[in-house]
Structure 1
C-alpha cells in the first residue's frame, strides 16, 4: 500500500531539505513514509509545502542523506518530480533522481531522462538522456515540441544547454520509435533560454527523414511560446519572367506589445530592390495598419509600354491602410484604402497574391465607414473609390460614391394595428467623369465588348450616337444624388384552421438630383439620351398587399413530417413612373428565381421601383424524417394583373428586359433541394419559359462528404443561362465548376478544381482577342472574324497534393487562372506553387509562372 508523507519545510523550489533527529549513532534507518519527523528550516520560499509520495523514506545519518524510494513523486508548488528513486544529499545540497525521471515545470513542459543531478532548488544541474516535451498553442492548433540530448545542463532554472541535441515538433513513431522523425534539427549545441524565449543552434543541420539537407553554422529562432519577437522571418523566394529571380527577406521589429513594424525588401535580378514596409498598431479602442510598397525599376521594358502597361515608368508603388475602431458598444468606424501608381503594379509584383484565391484580384476598392447597431436598428454610412486593375478598365468611367447612407429601424406596431413597423432610408451620391457606354453585340460576336478608354471596338455596335437598339448606359457622367425612404407595416393572422393571412402596406418616396456632365470625350452623347431628367425630380410609390399561406402538415412515423403549403400574394400599387428617364446605378442586377418570387419589390436596388398590380402564386412541399432526411420543392410564377409592367419597359441599361418578368405572365421558377444526411446536400433552381417551358436559366449544385466510409469530399455546380442580347449576351452561357479533395491516408491528400465553360462559341475568343489587339495598333480597320465553334473550354483549374501532419505541411499545386474573362479574352496565368511549413520553425513558398505570359496583365512578350 502506497504511503504519503506531507512534510512542511521552508525550502527552495522542489528542495528535499529534510533534517531529522538522530535515530542512532551510526548506520541507516528506514521509516514508513507517514512517519512524522522534525524538519530543520532551510532557505526557500516561505509558506510552500513539499508533498512527497513514495513507498518508503530512508534516512541515512552516516551519509547525511534522505531517500524516497519506490514510485517517488515530489510536488512543490506547480512543479512535479517523478522517479523510481530520489536521493537528497544534505551536505552538497544536491538532488539525485534515477530511473524513469520526469520533471514537469509550471508552464507544462515535461523533462524526462534516465538520471538527473540537480541543486536543491532545481535551477542548476546535469541531466543524462534528456528529453523535453512542451505543448503550446500556435495558429489555433496544439503543437508539441521535443528536445533530446545524451547530456544536458540546466543553468539557473531559466536556460537549458543540450550537447549534441536534436529539436523537432514531430511525434515519434509509436511502432518504431527508433526511426528518425520527418524533420529535425541536429546541432552540436542547442541552448533554450526561457527568459529571452529563444532557441539557438550551433553547427546545425536540418534533417528530413534522417537525411541531412541543409547546414547552418549558427541560427537563432524564437521558441514556440513566443507570439511576437524582433528578428528575421522566413524568406520568400521569387521567380518570374518579368521580375527575374530573387528573394524577399522580411525583418520584424517588435517595437512594443501593441505595435510593430515589418520591413520586407525583395531583391530581384531584373528589377532591383522592391521595398515593402508594414506598420501595425493596436489601441484600446481598435487598430490600424499601413503598408507601403515601391520600386525604381531597372528593366521597365519587361512590361508593356503605355497605355497597355507600365513599361514607361521608372518608379512604381502602392499604399494600403486598414483601420477598425470601436467608439462604444454600438458604434464603430474604420477604413480600407488602396492607392497605386498604376493599375498593373499589384498584379505584376504579386502584392497580395499569396494564395490561389487572390489570383483573381482585378479591382481595388477603397472605403471609409461609420456603423451603428441598436437592438432593432442599423445605421451605416460609407464612401467608395473604385480602382480598376485590368488593362481594359478606363478610370474615368469608375464612379466616386460618397456618401452612401443606410438606416433601418423596426418597432412594434401601435395599437390597434399591432404587427411590425419598419422604416428604411437610403441616401446615395456619386460622380463620374465619363459616361459608361456599352455597345450591344453584333450578330456573331460574343459576350461584352472589348474596350479601351471608353471606346467599344468594332466587334460590337458603337455608340457614336445613343440608340437603345445598339447601346446600354451603365452610368452617366456628372453627379447623381438620390434620397429614398420607405415606411412599411405587416402583421400575420392565423385562423383556427391554420390559414396564415399577412396583410402589409408600404409607402416609398424617392428624390433625384441629376446634373449630367456635358464636357469631355463621349459626354456630348448625354443630351441624346431620350428624356433623361436634368435637375430635381421625385417619385412616390404607395402599396397595399396580402400574403396568404395554408400549410397542410402530416406526420407519418418513420416517413417523417410532410408539409404542403400553397402560397398566394397580391400587391396593389400605381404604375412606375419615369422609366428610362432616371439613372439606374444600383438596380442593374436583376435575377428572377425562387428567392425573389415573393419579394414585394423584385429590383435589387433603390434606383428602380416595381409598380402595377401583381400577383405572385406558388407552393412548396417539404419532408423531414427522423433519420435526418430533408427535401423541399417550390414552384410558382408572377402575374402582372393591372397597370404598367415595370419589367417590360427597359431603362438606360435595359434592366427588366429578358428577365422572365417582362410578359404579363412571367416565366415559371422552381427549386428542388434534398439532403439525405448532414454530409450530402443537393440544390437546383430553374426558370422555365412561360410559353413552351424551355429552360431559360438553370443552376444545380451538390456538396458531399463521404467520411468515414470514403475519405473524399466533392462539390460541383452547373450553370446555364439563355442568351440575353438586349443585355449584352448574344449567346447562351453554360459552365461547370467543381472541386474535390481525397485523403489517400490520414496524412497524404490530393485536391483539384476546375472551371469549365461549355458554351459552344467560346473558342472564338482567341480570334476576338487577336482582332482587338490588331485594332489597337491599326484603328483604321479590323480583319474579318470567322467563328470557330468549340464544345467546351477549360477556363481555370488547379490540381495538386500534399502531406500534412502534426509538425509538417507540404503542398504542390499547378494553377491555371483566367485573365480579363469579362471581355471574353482567352488568356490565362499558369503557376506552380510549392509551399512548405515546418511548424514552430518557419514556412516558405515558391511561386513560378510557367508557359506563355499573357499581355493582358501589362507584361511584355519581349524577353
Structure 2
C-alpha cells in the first residue's frame, strides 16, 4: 500500500503523528537558544491559511508501505518508509507503532529505525527510537542527535521528557563546529560534554552535571555543577557567563554575574569579582523599561586600600565605588528628556579592576577622553524648531586633572527656528542661546588656589542665507548674520592676590558676505575631473571681545569658555566666524580662498585635493599665536584623500607656515583590507603649543611641548587557520614606544584563540609600565570571549 493517505481518526492521529510529539520530547538545550515547539490544539476560531505543505491546521498526511490495524489488541502499525507531515513538521521512520491503553492516557507511541524529524525552521532531529505516551507528555529517545540553527550539533545517549516542565539529556555533547571533513569524522575544534543536562521550565533554569569544555578533543575546563537561566524562556533569573582573568595587579580573578529578573520590565545583575591579591569588588547593573523610556544604572563597590601595578597595597582602607547611569524618556512626540550620572571615587578605579565600556555616549553632551559627565536635559524638536535646556558637571580622570577647575554648567539653553517662508529670497533662521558657568578654582595657578572665573551669557542671533546659480554654473550664496550678546562675569582676578572683580556688559556683532563657487567638469579617458575654485568674502565691524584680565606682558586675556579646542583646517577654512563657540568672535574684512580638485574613475577609484588659505585686511590677535590665523595671510591648508586600488584608502591633511611652509600640524594615514590581510598606519604631528602655553579644557600644555606620534596595526593570515597580529604606538618626541602588541591566533568556523604579548611603557598614576601575555578564547554561540591576562 505505497503512498496511501489515511483518514485522520483520533487513534490514527495519536499513533502516526508521533513526529509532532517528538519535537516536544527533544528539548533543545539552553546553549542552542531555540524555543520548543508544541502541536496546536483544536480551535473554533476562523481557519487560517494553509501551511506551506498545503495542509490545513489540524490536518495530517501519512504515507507508508503498509498500515496494519489490530483491533483485538488495539495496536496500529505503519511500516516501510513511513512519512508523516503535520503542523509544518515531517517525521520519517522505518516503523511507527501505537498501542492503545486500557484507559485514557495509557497509550504508548513508538517510532523505530532511522527516525528523522524535520521541523518548520529547518532544524533536524535524529534517533534510533522514540517512545512516548499518547498524550505526548512524557517519553524517551534512544541514540538522539540534532542539527539546530547556526549549524549547531547536539547528541545524547538518551533524551527524556519526564513531564511538560522537566526534560533532560544524558551523556550529551554540544558543538557548533564541523564534525565531518571529506565524508570522514573530524574532531570538533571545541565542544561541551555533560553527564546530564536538565531543563526545568517551571523554575526557568538549565542544570548541568559534570560538564567539560573540550578544545581539539582535549578537556580544558571541568565544572561539577553548573546552572544558568533557560534561554528558551523569555526572561529568567540565573547565572551568566563568568569572567576569568589573571594579572599582576589583582592576581587570579573570578567574576560570576547573576541575573535577577524582578519583573517583565526590570532586572538586576550582581557580579562579584573575587581576587587573590586584593579585596573582592562587586559590580552591578539595574535596568528598567517604562512606557516612555528606560533607565540603565551600572555601579560597583569595594572597601580596600589603594594598590599599584604590582598589586602592592598602601594607604588606608576606604570605600571605593563608581556609578555609570543613564535614562531617556520620550514624553510626547516632540519632547524628550533624560539624564546621565557618572562618577568614580578613584581616577584609576576602572583601570585597576578592568571595568569595560566606561567612556560610552550616554547622553546628548559628550565630554573629552577620560572624562565623566553628569547631566540632565530636556529637548523639543519639530520640523521647523528646536529647543533644549540642560545642566551638567564634569569629573576628570587624567593625570593632573583638578575637578575644582571644571565648571558647573547650569543652565545651558539652545534653540533655533526656521521661518516657514523665504524672506528676500533666502532662508531665515533665528537662534537663541544662554549659559551660566560656575567654577570653584582657576586652572591657571592651581598651587595658589585662586578663585575660579564665573560667567553668564545670553545670545540672540539672526542668520539669513540665499543661493543663486547661473545658467553657466556660477553659484553665488550671499549671507548676513546679526547677533547680540549680554554678559555677566564674576570672580575676575585683579592681579593682586586673590582679589576679584565683576562686570556686566553687552555687545552687538554681525557679518555680511558671499560664497562664490564655479565648478568645471572635464572628461579625460575613463575618468571625470572636477575643478572647483571657492571664494568667501566676509566683512564685520570691529567686535567687542570680553576682557577678563591681563597677562604678564600687559596683553588682554579674553573670555574663552567654548573655543579652547580649536583647529584651523579644511573644516573651518570657509566659516565666516572660525571660532566654534560664542565667547570669541572673528571680525574685520577677510577673504577665504581655495580650490578643490576631484578625479573620479569609472572603476571606482577616486582622488580629492583641497588647498586654501585666508587673507584679512589687518592682523587679528584674538586668535592664538599657534592657530596660524593671526597674520594678514594665514597658514596654508592642504587636505587630500584617495582610493588608488580596491581595499586601499589613504588620507593626509596639513597646516603649513605662511612664510616658509614649515609643517605646524600634519596627519596622514592609510587603511588596507584584502584577502592577504588588513592593517592601518597613522602619523600625527602638532606644534600648537610650541609658541606659548595652550589651555586645553582645564589643562595647561606648557610651551614647547610638541606632539608627534606614529601608530600602526595589522592582521595577517599566514595559513587558512593561523595568523599574526601586531599593534604599536610610538611617541616620536620621547623616542619611546607607548604600547606594543604582538599576537598569534588560530581561527576556524567555530572558534578563535589569540595569544598576545603586550608591553605598556606609559605610566598612568601609580599603575606603572607592565608586560603581559593574554590568552583569549572565543567560542561561537557562547557570547563574550574567555580571556586570561
The TM-score range, normalised by the shorter chain, is: 0.7 to 0.9
Once residues 604 and 243 of structure 1 are traced to their aligned partners in structure 2, the CA distance between those partners, rounded to angstroms, is 44
State the alpha-carbon separation in 2 of the partners of residues 703 and 14 from structure 1.
Answer: 63
Match of 1:798 in 2: 741
CA distance in 1, matches of 2:678, 2:309: 41
Alignment match, 1:114: 128
User: Which of these residues, 726, 740, 752, is aligned with residue 726 of structure 2?
Assistant: 752
Indicate if the aligned counterparts of 1:14 and 1:76 stay in contact, CA closer than 8 A: no
Query: CA offsets per residue over residues 260-302 of structure 1, 9 Å max, x none?
Result: 12222333344433333332211111111333322222x5576
Instruction: Choose between structure 1 and 2 for higher RCO, CA contacts under 8 A separated by at least 6 residues.
Output: 1
Q: Determine which of 620, 639, 642 is the counterpart of 1:674.
A: 642
Does residue 1:97 correspond to 2:111, yes or no?
Answer: yes
Tell which deviates more after alignment, 806-815 or 323-332.
806-815
Cα 1:431–1:16, aligned 2, differ >3 Å: closer, same or farther?
same
Q: Distance in 2 between matches of 1:840 and 1:672?
A: 43
1:719 correspondence with 2:650: no
Partner in structure 1 of residue 659 of structure 2? 691
Structure 1, residues 326-357: CA drift from partner, whole Å, max 9, x if none? 21233222222123334343433334479999
Q: Which secondary structure does the structure 1 equivalent of 2:458 belong to?
A: strand
Give how far 1:171 is off: 3.7
Tell me, yes or no, if structure 1 residue 512 matches structure 2 residue 487. Answer: yes
- Is the Cα–Cα contact under 8 Å of residues 80 and 103 in structure 1 kept in the other structure? yes
The equivalent residue for 1:767 is: none
Q: Secondary structure at the match of 2:84?
A: strand
Counterpart for residue 80 of structure 1: 90
Report SS of the residue matched to 2:236. Answer: coil
Picking from 333, 337, 351, the partner of 2:337 is: 333
1:665 and 2:633 are equivalent in the alignment: yes
Deviations for 1:519-546, whole angstroms, at most 9, x for unmatched residues? 9xx993676xxxxx83211222111111
> 2:141 — aligned with what?
127
Equivalence for 1:26? none
How far apart are residue 374 of structure 1 and its match? 1.8
Distance 2:147 2:252 in 1: 40
In 2: Cα distance, 1:553 partner to 1:346 partner: 55
CA distance in 1, matches of 2:779, 2:658: 60
CA distance, structure 1, for counterparts of residue 324 and residue 593 of structure 2: 50
Match of 2:671 among 703, 710, 723: 703
Does the C-alpha gap of structure 1 residues 246 and 688 become closer, same or farther in structure 2, counting only changes over 3 Å? Answer: closer
Aligned mates of 1:51, 1:237 — CA distance in 2 = 52
Confirm or deny: 8 A CA contact 1:81 1:104 kept in the other structure: yes
- Is this contact kept in 1: 2:212–2:223, CA < 8 A? yes
CA distance in 2, matches of 1:173, 1:356: 43
Offset from partner CA, 1:696-743 (integer Å, 9 cap, x none)? 222112112113xx2x11121212223632234415432212221234
Name which of 713, 716, 738 aligns with 2:712. Answer: 738
| Count of aligned positions | 725
Moved more, 545-554 or 195-204: 195-204
Distance 2:301 2:496 in 1: 36
Sort the Cα spacing of 1:627 and 1:194 in 2 relative to 1 into closer, same or farther, 3 A. farther
**Quick check: 1:289 aligned with 2:230?**
no
Q: Which residue of 2 aligns with 1:324?
A: 328
The 8 Å contact of residues 12 and 44 in structure 1, kept in 2 or not, is answered as no
| 1:328 aligned counterpart, secondary structure | coil
- Length-normalised TM-score, structure 1: 0.76
Cα-to-partner distance string for 1:443-495 (whole Å, 9 max, x where unaligned): xxxxxxxxxxx24xxxxxxx99xxxxxxxxxx971421122232111111111
SS of equivalent residue, structure 2 residue 497 = helix
What is the match of residue 561 of structure 1?
528
- Pairing 1:501-650 to 2, within 5 Å after superposition: 501-516=476-491, 524=497, 534-556=502-524, 559-578=526-545, 580-581=547-548, 582-641=558-617, 644-645=618-619, 648-650=620-622
* Aligned twin of 1:836: 777
Secondary structure, in 3 states, of the residue corresponding to 2:637?
strand
Distance verdict in 2 for CA 1:70–1:627, change over 3 Å: farther
Deviations 1:744-791 (A, max 9, x none): 4565443332212222xx2xxxxxxxxxxxxxxxxxxxxxxxxxxxxx
Cα pair 1:165 1:190 within 8 Å, conserved: yes
- Displacement of 1:413: 4.7
1:611 Cα deviation from its structure 2 partner: 0.4
1:380 aligns with 2:385: no
- Cα distance between partner residues in 1 of 2:758 and 2:384: 46
Residue aligning to 2:464: 489
Deviates more, 1:803-812 or 1:198-207: 803-812
Q: Distance in 1 between matches of 2:432 and 2:325?
A: 30
In 1, the alpha carbon distance for the partners of 2:360 and 2:502 equals 46
CA distance in 2 between counterparts of 1:705 and 1:580 reads 52
Spell out, residue by residue over 1:114-147, the C-alpha distance to the aligned partner (whole angstroms, 9 max, x if none).
3333444544333232102333xxxxxxx45432
Contact 1:434 1:523 in 2 (8 A): no
CA displacement 1:395-452 (0-9 Å, x = unmatched): 221222222222233345535x2332222222221111111117xxxxxxxxxxxxxx
Whole-angstrom CA distance in 2 between matches of 1:354 and 1:809: 26
Q: Judge conservation of contact 1:310–1:342 (CA < 8 Å) in 2.
A: no
- Say which SS state the counterpart of residue 148 (structure 2) adopts: strand
Contact 2:16 2:96 in 1 (8 A): no
Which one is further off, 364-373 or 45-54?
45-54
Distance 1:46 1:10 in 2: 16
Aligned partners of 2:422 and 2:170: how far apart in 1? 81
Cα distance, 1:377 vs structure 2: 3.2
* Structure 2 CA distance for partners of 1:293 and 1:187, relative to 1, 3 Å: closer
1:37-436 equivalences under 5 Å are 45=42, 49-54=58-63, 56-61=65-70, 66-68=76-78, 71-89=81-99, 93-104=107-118, 109-120=123-134, 122-135=136-149, 143-156=150-163, 159-175=166-182, 178-193=185-200, 196-226=203-233, 228-237=235-244, 239-241=246-248, 243-297=250-304, 299=305, 311-352=315-356, 362-415=370-423, 417-436=424-443
**Kept in 1: contact 2:478–2:513 (CA 8 A):** yes
Quick one: distance in 2 between partners of 1:817 and 1:504? Answer: 52
Give the 3-state SS of the residue equivalent to 2:16 in structure 1: coil
Partner of 1:396, secondary structure, is helix
SS of the equivalent of 1:600 reads coil
Q: What CA distance in whole angstroms lies between the structure 2 residues aligned with 1:379 and 1:799?
A: 50
* C-alpha spacing 1:407/1:812, structure 2 compared with 1 (3 Å): farther
Shift of 1:575: 1.9
Measure how far apart 1:803 and its partner are: 4.1
Listed one character per residue, the Cα deviations across residues 172-230 of structure 1 (whole Å, up to 9, x for unaligned) are 23436533322223333333445655433333333322223333333223444356432
Distance (whole Å) between structure 1 residues aligned to residue 598 and residue 774 of structure 2: 46
Q: How much is the aligned-residue C-alpha RMSD, in angstroms?
A: 3.7
CA distance in 2, matches of 1:270, 1:731: 39
CA distance in 1: counterparts of 2:69 and 2:535, whole angstroms: 96
Q: Partners of 1:571 and 1:808 in 2: how far apart?
A: 61
**Gap regions ≥5 residues in structure 2:** 19-39, 45-56, 362-367, 549-557, 695-701
Q: What is the aligned counterpart of 1:479 among 432, 447, 454?
A: 454
Q: More deviation in 830-839 or 675-684?
A: 830-839
2:648 and 2:672 in contact (8 A); partners too = yes
The 1:46–1:593 alpha-carbon spacing in structure 2 relative to 1, beyond 3 Å, is closer
Residue in structure 2 matched with residue 811 of structure 1 by the alignment:
754
Deviation of the 1:615 alpha carbon: 0.5
**Superposed CA offset, 1:529-566 (max 9, x none):** xxxx832112221111111111112234x523221111
